[in-house]
Amino acid sequence: DKTDYHARIEAPEMRDYGVYLKCDQLLACQKPLAEMVNADELQFQIVHQVEELWMKLIAYTLVDVLDYLEKQNTHRIVTLMGRVHRLMRMMTFRHAYLDGRGLTVADIYDEHYDHGDAYVVAEALIEFDELFQKFRANHLYLIHRSIGLGSKSLKGRPVEMLEGGARHRFFPELWDIRCDMTDRWGAEYGTVRDSISHPAQVKAG
């Protein structure tokens, strides 16, 4: 008989830490175990509720990142973006900082590339973009496998909208610059760029 076990799962003994985390309210967010449609419904609810909590933390963290972008605090930006990246991995801002330094995306990646602060921040932003797109792609395949792409999502929105969202990019300039540089360098095939670690020495007149 699972009744006793289920009762303990749904209403565990509350100690100080559990009270602080409001575990009684948290555990009440799922349907009563006796009303589950099947044995996998609890997993479905918890996994998606956890993702919602992670997304809340991501949004909260990105708000802090915006503040540090204004302050041009590179170390804190990279630290917080690292948190966001880890959260994105578990589920599978701005150009004001760049503009504030008087740099364009082309400057950072091509004309004045030196792996400095602006470059590090730009790479942190594009990694967030990449991880978010991977999450969206995985989510799309989950829908494809579970309910099919020809159906409608739980919100009644056509799944085609999800496919469109999967093609969205948060920082298109950071992606496009790679194409621009590849095309431009292709026209200069054989030209060797100066080394970052060993820049060319200017000869005295």
Which residue type is seen at 97? Answer: Y
Are residue 26 and residue 100 in the same domain, yes or no?
Answer: no
The band of 63, judged by pLDDT with boundaries at 50, 70 and 90, is: very high
Are residue 116 and residue 175 in the same domain, yes or no?
Answer: yes
For residue 35, the 8-state DSSP code is: G
Reported as a single tens digit per residue, the pLDDT across 16-41 is 878 888 988 999 999 998 888 888 78
Are residue 116 and residue 15 in the same domain, yes or no?
Answer: no
Q: At what angle do helices 159-166 and 117-146 cross, to 10 degrees?
A: 160
Are residue 11 and residue 82 in the same domain, yes or no?
Answer: no
Asked whether the predicted pLDDT for residue 98 surpasses 50, the reply is no
| 22 inside domain | yes
Question: What pTM was estimated for this model as a whole?
Answer: 0.63
* Helix, strand counts (H, E) of the chain: 10, 0
Which residue type is seen at 189? Answer: Y
Which residue type is seen at 89? Answer: R
Are residue 119 and residue 137 in the same domain, yes or no?
Answer: yes
Rounded Cα distance, 43 and 155, in Å: 20
The band of 70, judged by pLDDT with boundaries at 50, 70 and 90, is: very high
The band of 6, judged by pLDDT with boundaries at 50, 70 and 90, is: confident
| 130 inside domain | yes
| 57 inside domain | yes
Are residue 11 and residue 89 in the same domain, yes or no?
Answer: no
What residues make up the domain containing 152? 39-185
Are residue 52 and residue 146 in the same domain, yes or no?
Answer: yes
| 192 inside domain | no
Q: How many domains does the chain have?
A: 2
Are residue 114 and residue 22 in the same domain, yes or no?
Answer: no
